[in-house]
Structure formats: C-alpha cells, structure tokens
Amino acid sequence: MNNQRYFSDKVAIVTGASSGIGLATATLLAKYKAKVVLAARSIDKLEELRNELSQYTQVISVKTDVSVEADCRNLIETTVKEFGHIDILINNAGISMRAMFKDLDLSVIRRLMDVNFWGTVYCTKYALPYLLESKGSVVGVISTAGYKGLPGRTGYSASKFAINGFLDTLRSEHLYDGLHVMIYAPGFTASNIRKTALMADGSQQGETPREEGKMMTSERVAEIMLNHIRKRSRRATLTFTSKLLLVLTRLFPITTDHMEYWYMAREPDSPFKRRRDIMRERRNHQA
C-alpha cells in the first residue's frame, strides 16, 4: 500500500504546523488527501497555510499554544467536533536552546519542558481515547538529543529524553490495544528551530550557527516520517551521523563524550568555545 492510499481520508493533527518539519508534514498529508488539522500559535500563518492546502483536502486551523493545557484540550475537541474522530497525532511543536547550564536562567529550561514535553503530554492525553478507538498513531518528534545529551543543550536534551520515556511507556501500557506509538528522531534538519533557539537569558538566538544547506530538508524529513507512520514503526532515527553517534555511545561512551564535545564546540560563537581554546593552549604548552 502506498502513502496516498494509506493516508487518504485519515484525520491527522500536526502541532507546530506553521513552519519547518510541521509545515512540510502538513503539506504532504494534504497532498495525500488526509483531513489535516493545523495547530500553532500563529493563527495568521495557519490561515495562510490552510487556504493553500484547501485545494487538496479538508483543512482546519486551530490556534494552539501547546504549553497551555486548555489550548491542547480545545485542539482535540475542535478536531472531533469537525471530523468525528482522530487517526494520527503528530507532536512536532518544539523549541531549542543554546547555552551552558552554568550560565542559564532556569526559566529557559521551564519553557523548553513546557513546550516540548508538556505539549506532547497534553495533546496526547486528550487525543488518546480517540486514538485508541481508531487504533491510530501518536508520534513524538524528538532528536538525537533525546538519546544522547548534547553539550550546550541541557534543557533541549532533557525535554527530548522526557518525551522518549513518556511515549516508550505509553506504548507498553497499550501494547495489546492496537495503538501505534512512534518516536521519531530526525537529527539536524534545515528548519526555523535554530533561529528561534533560546539563549542563556531567554532571548532568541536569531541566526543559526550551522550551515543549513548541508542538512536534510524539512520536506525529506516529513516524507520519511509518513513512510514510517504507514509502516507503524516503533522508532526511526535519521542521518548517518546520528546513527553512528548512538552506536559509538554504546561501545565507547567516554571517547564519544569527547568527540561530541569537540564537534559541538566547532559551532561559531559556541558557548564553550573559550574552554576549547584553553584546552588547546594547555596541550600546546605541554608539547
């Protein structure tokens, strides 16, 4: 069965649908003739996208701040009122951060957990009765950071680890109920998430420190995600680098910590770049 046949007429909710992976996923679902529910904080962007995608299928937009429980409940209730049931929930909404923990205002970690983790919990909680009824799919978009902590990303890694654990447990609880639970880790993707990443004081980063042109596109990430939803995969981790990191972490954990540190320290204006330079100076002095 191809994706067009599988997704046709299914009711799919996509959070964080106004940009990046969420936008690409919603667009592809619409082209596959699914009934799409767009959720994000920016209603203007959602309405623009809804108008664009309505040429393919039925689409509604619901202004949703996933960190607010009432918004998530309203998202689910509006979907059921409009379409009668839910087949797929894609918990994609998320924000990132870039700062050393010692410099970090704790409100940044609270914000990361509220959006990334609690947003997934709230939406899943209220959608779960309908997903159990339809034997549908719930997807959590995490990251390599949800398997291996990334330096300078404490709040981000913590929130993604939490989603990983939450959905893994949910799958076990409903092992015999026909519920499909997928944990999806795209790796570095060309999207808006790094531009809106929070710095130590909670302000947005603005410019991405990475070369977006060398990353996997949001469209490709969305395509692979939908392939795995159709196959009802338990987990999917993208990019060779991410897969290699996970293998090396199991085999050579200490060496991998050092490799990861130096890899992340290469970013322009890295929050731990000064420490990297000091270590170089020490090695040169010892030589």
User: Is 126 annotated as catalytic?
Assistant: no
Residues 6+ apart with CB under 8 A from 133: 85
C-alpha 201/C-alpha 209 separation (Å) is 18
Q: What is the DSSP letter of 116?
A: I
Burial of 6 (0-12, 13-18, 19+ CB in 10 A): middle
Order across the sheet with 35-40: list the strands: 59-63, 35-40, 11-15, 88-91, 137-141, 180-185, 235-237
Output the CA–CA distances (angstroms, integers) from residue 33 to 20, 127, 163, in the order listed.
Answer: 20, 21, 29
Residue 107's CB: how many other CB atoms inside 10 A? 11
Q: Out of 32, 156, 184, 263, which one is annotated catalytic?
A: 156
Residue in 7, 20, 19, 274 with CA at minimum distance from that of residue 152 = 274
Residue 169's CB: how many other CB atoms inside 10 A? 11
Which residues form the catalytic set? 156
